[in-house]
Amino acid sequence: MARVYNFSAGPAVLPEEVLKEAAEEMLDYRGCGMSVMEMSHRSKMFDQIIKEAEQDLRDLMGIPDNYKVMFLQGGASQQFAAIPMNLMKKGKAGYIITGQWAKKAYQEAKKFGEAVELASSADKTFSYIPDCSDLPITDDMDYVYICQNNTIYGTVYHELPNTKGVELVADVSSCFLSEPVDVKKYGVIYGGVQKNVGPAGVVIVIAREDLIPDEPAVKNTPTMLNWKIQADANSLYNTPPCYGIYICGKVFKWLKKMGGLEAMKALNEKKAKILYDFLDQSELFKGTVVPEDRSLMNVPFVTGNADLDAKFVAEAKAAGFENLKGHRTVGGMRASIYNAMPIEGVEKLVAFMAEFEKNNK
């Protein structure tokens, strides 16, 4: 069966090279006679896998030595609770609401302390990033929280908020490793891997050591959500998502082979420009995000007619373009063009859109 062009927002497209390597090693990983799925997480072989994965990630992102890297379970959504549980020492934090995931994190934080809405773009269906140059941040806040790239709505922070000295915590799930990042600007940077890094089931948390408390801020924090326990155990307190970490490690090596994050940024900008340039000149399709806040990873668009949107999605699927239907909360269409989406996938999608427009005037 021929592979389709998969524009899913997550779980999402992975590099073919990585999938082929994993297939070759499925039954016998490097002569050990077993799959990574089957080996002990305490074995020397898996110890090498997880240590190499962490080092390659550190190399790619330039992660300083005073930051811990944790490969955890539960996805980004579980960290919505873990973050306030570990960090809310003063019992207060600021949240910038730019979409569904930031809103869910904000609502979760309210269970453990005072969560303050600093700004929101809900008034225009999260189609822009609010002005974050002078937010009502106070000294008694433990952190300021953002979702850096908003998968559903297709917006991204091109500039980080002015947090006025308060630690920045960022969910980067859907822009993870898509471009260079200065980790030192964040207290905590984390993301689920299923959008741009690996298979669902792993969340990577990168936290500055001095922010990882000896005792969590919230009393009776569950052991599995206690960052200190997880960091001290080097992500091996219990059986981690071994196979997912193994695939992430292969993606890290693929990214290094491709030239690192600078090279990926250049490629992602080129892909996004092809699609956005078409949307800007199209008489049928329209992007839904203000140009200055557009994501390189997730591109939502509409025709303005729900029936025509549905027709487009159906015909695109028949033509080999999968998962273009927009999120159920917003409708329309969305093309997620993560690192592993080849440029020809975007070119062919645009050609298909042009033909559809011609036939549906």
pLDDT digits (tens, 9 = 90+) for 43-94: 999 999 999 999 999 999 999 999 999 999 999 999 999 999 999 999 999 9
| Identity at 88, one-letter amino acid code | M
Q: Where does the chain hold its CATH 3.90.1150.10 domain(s)?
A: 259-359
Catalytic residue among 171, 227, 309, 325: 171
Catalytic residue among 101, 142, 254, 271: 101
Residue 327 token pair: 């999120």
pLDDT digits (tens, 9 = 90+) for 220-269: 999 999 999 999 999 999 999 999 999 999 999 999 999 999 999 999 99
Residue 298 token pair: 């997730």
With contact defined as beta carbons under 8 Å apart, do 105 and 171 qualify?
A: yes
pTM check: above 0.85: yes
Catalytic residue among 195, 250, 271, 325: 195
- Catalytic, 195? Answer yes
- Catalytic, 44? Answer no
DSSP class of 4:
P
Going from the C-alpha of 68 to that of each of 54, 212, 251, 264, 277, the distances in angstroms are 10, 9, 20, 24, 40
CATH of 16-257, one of 3.40.640.10, 2.60.40.10, 1.20.140.10, 3.90.1150.10: 3.40.640.10
Residue 189 token pair: 């940077």
Q: Where does the chain hold its CATH 3.40.640.10 domain(s)?
A: 16-257
pLDDT range class, residue 275, cuts 50, 70, 90: very high
Q: What is the mean pLDDT of the chain?
A: 97
| Identity at 16, one-letter amino acid code | E
CATH topology assigned to domain 259-359: Aspartate Aminotransferase, domain 1 (3.90.1150)
Residue 328 scores a pLDDT above 90: no
